[in-house]
Amino acid sequence: ARRVIRLLLDEMIGAKIADQLRTRGYDVYSVVEHVELRSMPDPDVLEMATLEDRVLVTLNIVDFQILNRAWASQGRIHGGIVFISTAKYRQSRSFVGLVVTALDHAAKEGQLPHPGSSIFL
């Protein structure tokens, strides 16, 4: 059985991307869509994604790589992390469409990270 793809978009990735992914059938929301989650500390965001069995999608590569290593060294397994490189996906008008397409493609090709692992898009 194909597992349902569940995503949590970090604060820097807006609601527009979540919206477009939902229209494509994904179970996804962005931190910015929930007032009570905004400015939640990164460790808590990763914790929440994991508890909800979601892959975390973030532009915040530095901080989440540190967390990724910390979890690994503690033998903890998060729900998976997708790092979006702003060098590759510039935050211009085409950003939303490019990121939606890249995530959709990665999901369909089975390239999204498994629990405990991470990928760069």
Residues of the chain with pLDDT under 70: 1-3
Q: What is the pLDDT of residue 1?
A: 45
CB contact at 8 A, 71 and 46: yes
Q: Which two tokens stand for residue 69?
A: 């290593």
Q: What is the pLDDT of residue 20?
A: 97
Q: Closest Cα partner for 104 from 17, 12, 13?
A: 17
DSSP 3-state of 8: strand
Phi first, then psi: give them for residue 82, nearest 5 degrees. Answer: -110, 120
Q: What is the pLDDT of residue 4?
A: 77
Q: What is the pLDDT of residue 92?
A: 81
Contacts of 52 (CB under 8 A, 6+ apart): 6, 8, 79
What ranges in 1-121 are assigned the alpha helix state H? 15-23, 42-51, 61-73, 95-108
Q: What is the pLDDT of residue 2?
A: 55
Q: Please state, in angstroms and rounded to a whole number, the distance separating the CA atoms of residues 76 and 89.
A: 30
